Structure 1
């Protein structure tokens, strides 16, 4: 069986999912693995930072409302962090769908902002767009 260039690219792409809701995390893992992405899931901002220090990732999908440390604070620490991961693309996932909330998340440095519940087609399009831009 021959793989398309996109699937070969995806097989070499590792995504860190930061989501404290087990159902959402499982759904994201399943959907991303179905598209041939490598996926690592953690449940809070502290675990996100530890994962970024432990191994390289190509993209972070981050919930905003997390225990112990919000997605906003985790993003700030990522951007202020080590050179190897401070520039990693980070996509916010939020249930706050007001225009002001979405603009605020974009302004503080998220590469994209997606509303929950997630539209999987929009999620995949956003991931591909960001990964193509960052390669």
Structure 2
């Protein structure tokens, strides 16, 4: 359950294929007061974006069927309402070149795996303030 100081109130699309990572990240998001929906790959992510509204996407970079980089490129190239949604890369690749690859694909930020609770709280708090500056 979220405490008042961590109730970020974001609706997040979690694009992640690993069930353990889905569970761990989902619990972390709940603790931060965020609602989340899971997409198991990039194709599911694109479908979810057509069906629902999200404040932000947490995008795994390596997924089957369509990876996070290609999904991000397609989101950015679309003319839909989701073309400008913030996308945060989730990846175990921590090299600067990997970060740059994510940014070049159109992602807005970057978080290393395994996910650190403190880092994710800081990151999502910053994005929540950008998304809803009056809150």
TM-score, structure 1 as length reference: 0.89
Task: Give, in angstroms, the shift of residue 72 of structure 1.
Answer: 0.5
1:75 corresponds in structure 2 to 72
**1:111 Cα deviation (Å)?**
0.9
| Count of aligned positions | 130
| 2:103 alignment partner in structure 1 | 106
Distance in structure 2 (CA, Å) of the matches to 1:76 and 1:52: 14
Encode CA deviations 1:17-76: one digit per residue, 9 max, x unaligned.
010000000111111112221111111001001101001000000100000111100001
Distance 1:105 1:60 in 2: 13
Other-structure match for 1:62: 59
**1:41-56 equivalent positions in 2, closer than 5 A:** 41-56=38-53
Please list, as runs of the form range in 1=range in 2, the aligned pairs for 1:21-60 lying within 5 A after superposition. Answer: 21-60=18-57
| Unpaired stretches in structure 2, ≥5 consecutive residues | none
Question: Which structure 1 segments of 5+ residues have no match?
Answer: none
Alignment correspondent of 1:19: 16
2:112 alignment counterpart: 115
TM-score by length of 2: 0.89
Q: Which secondary structure does the structure 1 equivalent of 2:20 belong to?
A: helix
**Partner SS for 2:59:** strand
- Please give the root-mean-square deviation of Cα atoms over the aligned residues, in Å: 1.6
- Partner of 1:39, secondary structure, is strand
1:129 aligns with 2:123: no
Which is worse superposed, 14-23 or 124-133?
Answer: 124-133
Runs of 4+ in 1 over 3 A off after TM superposition: 3-6
Question: For the residues of structure 2 that align with 1:5 and 1:101, how far apart are their CA atoms?
Answer: 33
* Cα distance in 2 for residues equivalent to 1:31 and 1:4: 15
